Chain A
Amino acid sequence: MSTVATWRGPSTTAFGYVLFVGLVAGGYFYNLTFVQLGLVDLGTRVVGLSPDRVAAHLAVLAGGTLVVALVAGVVLHRTGGSARFLTKLRLLSLVVVLQTVLTAAAPAVGSERAFALWVLTASLALGVGVPAMFGLTCDLVATRDRGWVAAVITSAAFLPAAVLTTDWQIERFTEQLLWPMAAGATALAALAFAPSALTQALARQHESPRFGRGRFTVAHDTARWPGRGFVVALLLMFGIYFIDSLGFLRLVDTPTYMVTAWHSSDPAPTWLIGGAHVLAAALAGILYPALRQRALFGWVFVLFALAQLQYVLHAMVAPEVPASLAAPLLYAMAVSIYTVLSFTLWADFSTPRTIALVTAVGVGVSGWLASFLSTSLSLAWRSGGMPFTDHMRAVAAISLTLFLVSAVLLVASRQDTA
């Protein structure tokens, strides 16, 4: 501990925090806007595919990303790259370079074959990026600071996503992202491939228990990974991503609810949604180290269920009256809380040796597998002609069921620190 303190100055640590916030917030903003929203516009409007075909390609993207992430995580784990800061940073810089090229090429995609190729390449970049980016947590962010750092990242990703990107067109996304990404890729490559005292100092931070020992590895024997706590967290987080994606996919297809909220031409609703993201992220950042994680899971499920039920009630009771902002605000709060969890949870189940594998499994299974399955299920429901109210009611039922599960788990494991 004392030897670590001799070479680790506050400015180095602060730089690490800024670097991590920039990388993850930028990556998440890119994923939220360009990949999830821009891709739908690219497929439907530019290439001319049907919404179902685009959804099928999105399912391929999710499935492909899952497979690549798991493979990359296993490879990094087996080769020892998981614990090597520079290996992860270099991989990540290559990913950002590839994504910059993909961003520049996206508006030129004109056929379904080119679209499919773009999707596969994007899934390769995203998949490698998962363990490389999340694996840097133990090198750059001290365990006790992960809550508020995740809150800052979530706010930095969602506020501009809500406020700046209301038209959701691929050309607009490219225009917004290309030059910042090019500059970021250049700077990141320089940092990763040019040896410096700074990167050497950052590379050794994980040797300190303050950085390298995850919050939940204290109580759990890391030799028995995956432990019960990890598996439960994985299942609950999978449930969160699943219900979020399943519900939002239908909302996106329902203009009544989009034009009064995320697509509103009036800046007030979009700023309110952005504000709700920031507020909820701050609350989650404070509560993450203070409560058991399952209590926060419970909150997320309740918020999702509330928002989804409000949509159902509006659609059933007064569809003529414009929808209120309560539902999208609750939705935004739920999304921010679980995003903070997703940025902190997997690193806190890890040591530097296991972090690439743990984050690959955690983010891959909970995020991308859930997206793959929810997209597929949404497609099946839509092709079966399921009405909006039935769709949202089913999602709300799943949300409430998962809330009950998390409540029971919370009560049943009061002694369990995880």
Chain B
Amino acid sequence: MRTLRVLLVMVLLVVTAGCAATGTPADTGRYSLTLVTQHAHVVEDGQTTVGPLVLAGGSLTVSEGAEHRGDVLTLAGRMVVQGQVSGDVVALGGEVSLAAGAVVTGDVLQVDGSLDVDPLARVQGRVVTAADAAQVWGEPASGPTLTQQLVAALVGALVAGAFAWGLTRVATRPVRRVARAAEGYPVVSGALGTLVLLTAPALLVSMAFTLVLLPLAVVLLLPLAGLTAYGLVCVGQAVGQRLLHRRAPRLRASEQAAVGTAGLVLVLALLGMLPLVGLLSLFTAGAVGTGAALLTGLGTHGYAPPAGLEDDEVLRQGRSG
């Protein structure tokens, strides 16, 4: 949640910079975003502050007779309104207090943190607390029905199967190499994939923090997702081959991949209905596929453990080439 908040700040900064660059006019012709991270600040009677305001720590009080023109977003810290806020107040965290006599011309929305609205405070828009925030954001009160989930799983399985069929038609040998590594060395593949899937998000978030590298982080997210999808297709190919090579020996590798991947996705989707088990199953399959893809250089070569442990039964069995 905290990472999300800081990322939101970064996004706001980028948006503000974008507004300034494109010349979007603000009320007073100035372009600014106020970010409060520490200490106690007070906007005194008669003073006016302008522009979006983000409270990420410390405290800010808009005193009686003072005005803030612009939206307010609180991530942490304490925001006290005794005067007027000409805009929306959104609480993602921290404490927001609207005292008696306070005026907010827009909406007051609480997603997280605490919100205290005095009965004598006046909110011209809507006041939405965390309890009913989901409805305001347009989400249904309850999740999808079982039938909807099953249909979604079937559609997902069909799409995944079609993707696997196409990919294996184009790159039959690489997919089979990765599939052999996943099948022959599932533990090693899973360990490598786990390491990648645990550390890569941290790397991408760190890059996003720098702002300068934010576009690069977004660009790198795509190959990571592609790598995991490719790995899942290869695991699907291994599953398809294992299930079908005796029952339907005439099927091509692409057809095995299609059936195997569709079945794998369907099973994962069904397991996904169970708490924790579904997530662990998806992570395990993704980790094994990702690790196998990396071990084989995306299928450009087979995987064999380094020399020096030739007498190791575990490493010797199922060696892929």
Contacts and interface: CB of A to CB of B under 8 A. Distances in A.
Interface of A: 143-144, 209-210, 215-216, 218-219, 279, 282-283, 286-287, 289-292, 299, 302-303, 306, 309-310, 313, 317-322, 324, 326, 330, 333, 348, 417
Given A324-B2, A417-B306, A313 B210 contact: yes
Contacts of B307: 218-219, 417
Nearest to A322: B2
Given A309-B206, A313-B209, A324-B3, A319 B37 contact: yes
A199 to B, nearest CB: 26
Given A218-B307, A289-B315, 14 more contacts: A215-B308, A219-B308, A286-B187, A299-B195, A309-B206, A310-B209, A318-B6, A320-B38, A320-B56, A321-B2, A321-B37, A321-B75, A326-B202, A330-B202
B220 interface: no
Contact of B306 (A291, A306, A313, A330): A291
A271 to B, nearest CB: 17
A186 B305 CA distance: 42
B58 A320 contact: yes
A302 B314 CA distance: 29
B199 A215 contact: no
A216 B307 CA distance: 8
A210 B311 contact: yes
B37 A318 contact: yes
Contact of A321 (B57, B191, B198, B308): B57
Interface centre among A210, A302, A326, A348 (most CB of B within 10 A): A326
B194 interface: yes
A291 B192 contact: yes
Interface centre among B2, B38, B76, B295 (most CB of A within 10 A): B2
Contact of B192 (A215, A287, A313): A287
Interface residues of B, number: 36
A215 B309 contact: yes
Contacts of A299: 195, 199
Contacts of B309: 143-144, 215, 289
Interface string B68-86: 0000000111000000000
B165 interface: no
A306 B202 contact: yes
Interface centre among B38, B191, B194 (most CB of A within 10 A): B191
B230 interface: no
A303 B312 CA distance: 30
Contacts of A317: 6, 209
A320 B59 CA distance: 11
Nearest to A310: B206
A306 to B, nearest CB: 6
A219 B205 CA distance: 41
Interface string B197-232: 011001101100110000000000000000000000
A287 B37 contact: no
Contacts of B75: 321
